[in-house]
Chain A
Amino acid sequence: EAGVAQSPRYKIIEKRQSVAFWCNPISGHATLYWYQQILGQGPKLLIQFQNNGVVDDSQLPKDRFSAERLKGVDSTLKIQPAKLEDSAVYLCASSQDRYNEQFFGPGTRLTVL
Protein backbone atom coordinates (compact mmCIF):
# COMPACT_ATOMS: atom_id res chain seq x y z
CA GLU A 1 0.00 0.00 0.00
CA ALA A 2 1.44 3.37 -1.00
CA GLY A 3 2.02 5.83 1.81
CA VAL A 4 1.30 9.53 2.03
CA ALA A 5 3.12 11.36 -0.73
CA GLN A 6 4.34 14.95 -0.48
CA SER A 7 6.13 17.25 -2.85
CA PRO A 8 8.44 18.97 -3.11
CA ARG A 9 10.73 17.51 -0.46
CA TYR A 10 12.74 20.71 -0.15
CA LYS A 11 12.06 24.33 -1.02
CA ILE A 12 14.11 27.46 -0.55
CA ILE A 13 12.48 30.86 -1.12
CA GLU A 14 13.02 34.46 -0.15
CA LYS A 15 10.73 36.26 2.27
CA ARG A 16 7.61 37.74 0.74
CA GLN A 17 7.57 35.09 -2.00
CA SER A 18 4.80 32.53 -2.34
CA VAL A 19 5.08 28.76 -2.04
CA ALA A 20 2.77 25.77 -2.35
CA PHE A 21 3.01 22.24 -1.04
CA TRP A 22 1.15 19.23 -2.31
CA CYS A 23 -0.07 16.14 -0.47
CA ASN A 24 -1.59 12.90 -1.79
CA PRO A 25 -3.03 10.86 1.08
CA ILE A 26 -3.35 7.10 1.29
CA SER A 27 -6.13 5.89 -0.99
CA GLY A 28 -9.49 5.84 0.74
CA HIS A 29 -8.47 7.99 3.68
CA ALA A 30 -11.16 10.54 4.41
CA THR A 31 -9.26 12.67 6.91
CA LEU A 32 -6.24 14.76 6.01
CA TYR A 33 -4.05 16.89 8.28
CA TRP A 34 -1.36 19.51 7.74
CA TYR A 35 1.20 20.05 10.51
CA GLN A 36 4.02 22.56 10.89
CA GLN A 37 7.19 21.30 12.61
CA ILE A 38 9.67 24.02 13.51
CA LEU A 39 13.22 22.79 14.13
CA GLY A 40 13.56 21.35 17.63
CA GLN A 41 9.81 21.32 18.30
CA GLY A 42 6.98 18.87 17.95
CA PRO A 43 4.54 19.11 15.05
CA LYS A 44 1.69 21.59 15.43
CA LEU A 45 -1.61 21.03 13.67
CA LEU A 46 -2.49 23.70 11.11
CA ILE A 47 -5.66 22.32 9.55
CA GLN A 48 -7.77 19.17 9.44
CA PHE A 49 -10.02 18.13 6.54
CA GLN A 50 -12.78 15.56 6.55
CA ASN A 51 -13.28 14.70 2.88
CA ASN A 52 -13.34 18.15 1.25
CA GLY A 53 -14.59 20.04 4.31
CA VAL A 54 -12.55 21.82 6.95
CA VAL A 55 -12.97 20.36 10.45
CA ASP A 56 -10.54 22.64 12.27
CA ASP A 57 -8.34 25.47 11.07
CA SER A 58 -8.05 27.38 14.34
CA GLN A 59 -4.24 27.25 14.28
CA LEU A 60 -3.86 28.29 10.65
CA PRO A 61 -2.52 31.86 10.20
CA LYS A 62 -5.20 32.77 7.73
CA ASP A 63 -3.68 36.10 6.75
CA ARG A 64 -0.95 34.25 4.87
CA PHE A 65 -1.73 30.51 4.88
CA SER A 66 -4.45 28.78 2.89
CA ALA A 67 -5.27 25.15 2.22
CA GLU A 68 -7.73 23.30 0.07
CA ARG A 69 -8.86 19.78 -0.67
CA LEU A 70 -11.27 20.40 -3.49
CA LYS A 71 -12.13 16.82 -4.51
CA GLY A 72 -11.60 15.24 -1.12
CA VAL A 73 -8.35 13.56 -2.16
CA ASP A 74 -5.21 15.65 -2.83
CA SER A 75 -4.54 18.76 -0.82
CA THR A 76 -2.50 21.90 -1.32
CA LEU A 77 -1.11 24.20 1.39
CA LYS A 78 -0.05 27.67 0.31
CA ILE A 79 1.88 30.44 2.02
CA GLN A 80 1.61 33.95 0.58
CA PRO A 81 3.70 35.93 1.42
CA ALA A 82 6.25 33.89 3.34
CA LYS A 83 8.03 35.15 6.44
CA LEU A 84 11.32 34.05 7.95
CA GLU A 85 9.49 32.34 10.81
CA ASP A 86 7.69 30.06 8.35
CA SER A 87 10.90 28.06 7.94
CA ALA A 88 9.87 24.58 9.06
CA VAL A 89 8.98 21.10 7.89
CA TYR A 90 5.39 20.84 6.70
CA LEU A 91 3.94 17.41 7.35
CA CYS A 92 0.86 15.92 5.79
CA ALA A 93 -0.94 13.02 7.45
CA SER A 94 -4.04 11.02 6.62
CA SER A 95 -6.32 8.55 8.37
CA GLN A 96 -9.32 6.42 7.40
CA ASP A 97 -11.44 8.69 9.52
CA ARG A 98 -10.79 11.06 12.37
CA TYR A 99 -10.77 8.22 14.94
CA ASN A 100 -8.12 6.05 13.34
CA GLU A 101 -4.33 6.08 13.22
CA GLN A 102 -2.70 8.93 11.35
CA PHE A 103 -0.06 8.06 8.76
CA PHE A 104 2.52 10.73 8.02
CA GLY A 105 4.25 11.69 4.82
CA PRO A 106 8.00 12.49 4.65
CA GLY A 107 7.38 16.24 4.86
CA THR A 108 8.47 19.28 2.89
CA ARG A 109 11.36 21.24 4.38
CA LEU A 110 10.87 24.96 3.72
CA THR A 111 13.68 27.48 4.18
CA VAL A 112 12.78 31.16 3.96
CA LEU A 113 15.76 33.47 3.46
Chain B
Amino acid sequence: GNSVTQMEGPVTLSEEAFLTINCTYTATGYPSLFWYVQYPGEGLQLLLKATKADDKGSNKGFEATYRKETTSFHLEKGSVQVSDSAVYFCALSMSNAGNMLTFGGGTRLMVKP
Protein backbone atom coordinates (compact mmCIF):
# COMPACT_ATOMS: atom_id res chain seq x y z
CA GLY B 1 0.00 0.00 0.00
CA ASN B 2 0.88 3.67 0.00
CA SER B 3 2.98 5.08 2.83
CA VAL B 4 4.89 8.18 3.90
CA THR B 5 7.97 8.25 6.10
CA GLN B 6 9.33 11.43 7.60
CA MET B 7 12.14 12.18 9.98
CA GLU B 8 11.34 11.94 13.62
CA GLY B 9 11.47 14.99 15.79
CA PRO B 10 11.65 17.08 17.63
CA VAL B 11 13.86 19.27 15.51
CA THR B 12 15.22 22.17 17.53
CA LEU B 13 16.75 25.14 15.74
CA SER B 14 17.79 28.66 16.53
CA GLU B 15 16.05 31.53 14.79
CA GLU B 16 17.37 32.19 11.25
CA ALA B 17 18.79 28.66 10.93
CA PHE B 18 18.25 26.55 7.81
CA LEU B 19 15.54 23.90 8.02
CA THR B 20 15.26 20.56 6.28
CA ILE B 21 12.62 17.97 7.15
CA ASN B 22 13.00 14.77 5.16
CA CYS B 23 10.05 12.97 3.63
CA THR B 24 10.02 9.87 1.45
CA TYR B 25 7.06 7.98 0.07
CA THR B 26 6.00 4.65 -1.34
CA ALA B 27 3.16 4.57 -3.82
CA THR B 28 1.90 2.56 -6.74
CA GLY B 29 1.52 5.15 -9.47
CA TYR B 30 2.06 8.88 -9.37
CA PRO B 31 0.83 10.57 -6.23
CA SER B 32 0.30 14.21 -5.42
CA LEU B 33 2.44 15.31 -2.48
CA PHE B 34 1.65 17.73 0.33
CA TRP B 35 3.06 19.36 3.41
CA TYR B 36 0.57 20.26 6.14
CA VAL B 37 1.33 22.29 9.26
CA GLN B 38 -0.37 22.10 12.64
CA TYR B 39 0.23 25.08 14.92
CA PRO B 40 -0.40 24.58 18.65
CA GLY B 41 -4.11 24.41 19.38
CA GLU B 42 -5.10 24.71 15.72
CA GLY B 43 -6.24 22.42 12.94
CA LEU B 44 -4.15 21.15 10.05
CA GLN B 45 -3.42 23.68 7.33
CA LEU B 46 -2.11 23.00 3.85
CA LEU B 47 1.35 24.55 3.55
CA LEU B 48 2.31 23.56 0.00
CA LYS B 49 1.79 20.89 -2.60
CA ALA B 50 3.18 19.43 -5.83
CA THR B 51 1.24 17.30 -8.26
CA LYS B 52 3.89 15.96 -10.63
CA ALA B 53 7.57 15.12 -10.81
CA ASP B 54 10.00 18.07 -10.61
CA ASP B 55 7.25 20.43 -9.46
CA LYS B 56 8.28 22.76 -6.66
CA GLY B 57 5.70 23.80 -4.10
CA SER B 58 6.34 26.96 -2.12
CA ASN B 59 4.60 29.08 0.49
CA LYS B 60 5.63 31.39 3.36
CA GLY B 61 9.31 30.84 2.56
CA PHE B 62 8.98 27.04 2.65
CA GLU B 63 9.80 24.95 -0.42
CA ALA B 64 9.66 21.30 -1.40
CA THR B 65 10.50 19.63 -4.72
CA TYR B 66 8.81 16.45 -5.97
CA ARG B 67 11.67 14.04 -6.75
CA LYS B 68 10.37 10.94 -8.46
CA GLU B 69 13.80 9.33 -8.80
CA THR B 70 14.35 9.39 -5.02
CA THR B 71 10.63 9.26 -4.08
CA SER B 72 11.18 12.26 -1.84
CA PHE B 73 9.54 15.57 -1.00
CA HIS B 74 11.82 17.23 1.55
CA LEU B 75 10.67 20.47 3.18
CA GLU B 76 13.16 23.35 3.37
CA LYS B 77 13.26 26.90 4.63
CA GLY B 78 16.27 29.17 4.49
CA SER B 79 15.69 31.10 7.71
CA VAL B 80 13.22 29.87 10.33
CA GLN B 81 11.37 32.08 12.78
CA VAL B 82 9.98 31.36 16.23
CA SER B 83 6.51 31.53 14.68
CA ASP B 84 7.35 28.49 12.52
CA SER B 85 7.29 26.28 15.61
CA ALA B 86 4.67 23.65 14.82
CA VAL B 87 4.21 20.03 13.75
CA TYR B 88 4.75 19.37 10.04
CA PHE B 89 3.12 16.47 8.21
CA CYS B 90 4.07 15.10 4.83
CA ALA B 91 1.24 13.43 2.93
CA LEU B 92 0.31 11.91 -0.41
CA SER B 93 -2.88 11.29 -2.30
CA MET B 94 -3.74 9.20 -5.34
CA SER B 95 -6.34 10.42 -7.81
CA ASN B 96 -7.41 6.82 -8.45
CA ALA B 97 -8.12 6.36 -4.73
CA GLY B 98 -10.60 9.13 -4.20
CA ASN B 99 -7.85 11.60 -3.39
CA MET B 100 -7.67 10.33 0.17
CA LEU B 101 -4.66 11.55 2.12
CA THR B 102 -2.03 9.23 3.59
CA PHE B 103 0.03 11.04 6.22
CA GLY B 104 3.47 10.56 7.68
CA GLY B 105 3.95 10.53 11.42
CA GLY B 106 4.72 14.25 11.74
CA THR B 107 7.82 16.18 12.76
CA ARG B 108 7.74 18.69 15.58
CA LEU B 109 9.82 21.81 14.94
CA MET B 110 10.85 24.03 17.81
CA VAL B 111 12.56 27.32 16.99
CA LYS B 112 14.33 29.14 19.80
CA PRO B 113 14.97 32.89 19.77
Which residues of A pack against B, CB within 8 Å? 3-4, 33, 40-45, 48, 55-56, 91, 93, 95, 98-99, 101-102, 104-107
Contact = CB atoms under 8 A, between A and B. Distances in A.
Given A48-B98, A99-B95, A43 B43 contact: no
Range for the number of chain B residues in contact with chain A: 20 to 34
B43 A45 contact: no
B99 A99 contact: yes
Nearest first, the 6 closest Cβ-Cβ pairs linking A and B are: A42-B103, A104-B44, A104-B43, A106-B43, A98-B99, A42-B105
Contacts of A3: 43
B106 A42 contact: yes
A13 to B, nearest CB: 22
Contacts of B103: 42-44
Interface string B27-53: 000000000000001111110010000
Contact of B104 (A42, A56, A93): A42
A107 B41 CA distance: 9
